[in-house]
Amino acid sequence: MAVIKSQPPPKGHDSITVTDNRTGKTITIPITHNSIPATAFKALKSVAPVSEDGIDTDDTANGIRVFDPAYLNTAAISSKITFIDGDKGFLMHRGYPIEQLAEKSDFLETAYLLIYGDLPAKKQYDLWKYEVMHHTILADDLIKLIGSMRYDSHPMSVFISAFAAMGAFAPEANPALQGRNLYINNKEVMNKNIIRIIGKAATVAAASMRVRMNRPFIAPRADLGYAENMLYMMDSMSEGENYKPDARLAKALEILFILHADHEMNCSTSTMTHVGSSLVDPYSAVAAAAAALYGPLHGGANEAVIRMIEKIGTVENVPAFLEAVKEKKELLFGFGHRVYKNTDPRSKIIREVSEMVFEACGREPLIEVATALKDAALADPWFVEKRLYPNVDYWSGLIYKAMGFPLDFYPILFAVPRVAGWLAHWKQALDSSNAKIWRPRQIYIGESIRDYVPIEDRSEKEIKDSKDGVKELPHYQSRRRLQARL
């Protein structure tokens, strides 16, 4: 087992010294930005174990692998986009604290900042907004595709399907047709499709809502704000262009979009970057990222919060629920974060936004239960010791519920603004001079080499009974047909 020696580094250098106790070899690894290159450990090679088949399943000839399931302490990129200090509960984009952006910016300005590195000047912003809002219309065939979805389709299924299909409507944006380095060599094409994707994301989201409502799609309006236009496309009935969403709700949704626009290398963003490293078109990469966001451990968290609070029901039931959490009989959603070890700074802003929404829509009854649960948890040493503080999902679900969004639409409200963050990281990766396809290594722990046995010579495996007395096989088999055959 390799150990890190506690000895002074070479003069003038930040480094660590590692000794491989199998061979006695020592290497010095430089430290840059409080990180070391994992490839340095490839220098620590040992003799492959002797085996009859001569196969080195531990791959010792290529040095030591750094084993890090779920990327708990692995940095896959260097980035200038988002910084998080989890211990202090601090978040900033391109150097701007999230509190300032939420108070003073709007979503399209924040999206520009994330993607291009600086806040736009007035003329830049006006042109950027004009271009995005004039790329909101969907192709007729794409509208037909979305309209063909079942009324009870999950909105995220519609969103993912629409973006997967969208690339087919832009063959000029497909590296498979136009050349593998299309987005590396042609920044005009890159920027045009960034605008297209951001513009169309809100339209696809609104269309997915109209599908479930069994109502005709509403064309977007370029004269409205980004969130305002999305609300217009979802809510407009027979009023036509005379209808305008409540300004307070549009403002609240803009702030929520800013808060959700990027959050460093989370599951969906790393998916976008990973898939994008193959040089595929950005529509396919966005579809993949949205699929990652779809998972209940990522974009579905605020939906789980609402279901939890509804289950608690009343303020009086809060103490019993928290005791059940301690006894591992209940799950606590909306508290704690993989990165934040203090209060999620976005949760404070959202709590303030909620009052704006309640003023427009009426006070959400569940807010009393949510507040009581938050206060009780923060006053309980058990939760404080485990650093379980409310995160962004805790309050956002209550706001969405007050605004009338169905529970299964919550991940869509996460995906639309996160498209900006996905594109920012995608662009950053392709703009870097050392862009390579992502290809993690593995630790093989399976069978050693063995000979193929013809099927007639293989012994039958025991078919065990399941808990309900039905025969089981490792693979799926219709229980009715299995019982008939056995």
Query: Per residue in 322-364, pLDDT tens?
Result: 999 999 999 888 887 767 666 778 888 988 898 899 999 988 8
Residue 416: both structure tokens together = 């639309």
Give me the mean pLDDT over the 408-433 stretch.
95
DSSP letter assigned to residue 335: B
DSSP string, 14-45: -EEEEE-TTT--EEEEE-BTTB--GGGGGG--
pLDDT score at 1: 44
How far is 219 from 81, CA to CA, in rounded Å?
A: 33
What average pLDDT does the structure give for the chain? 89
Q: Are 163 and 204 in contact (CB under 8 A)?
A: yes
117: confidence class by pLDDT, cuts 50, 70, 90 = very high
Q: Is 34 exposed, middle or buried (0-12, 13-18, 19+ CB in 10 A)?
A: exposed
Q: What is the pLDDT of residue 17?
A: 93
Reference 266, options 361, 188, 340; nearest CA is 340
Q: Tokens 């427009």 label which residue?
A: 360
Predicted TM-score of the model (pTM): 0.88
Q: Which residues are catalytic?
A: 298, 337, 393
SS3 percent helix, strand, coil of the chain, rounded to 5, is 55, 5, 40
Contacts of 124 (CB under 8 A, 6+ apart): 112
Instruction: For 132-171, write each residue's pLDDT tens digit.
Output: 999 999 999 999 999 999 989 999 999 999 999 999 999 9
Report the Cα–Cα distance between both ends of the chain, in Å, rounded.
51
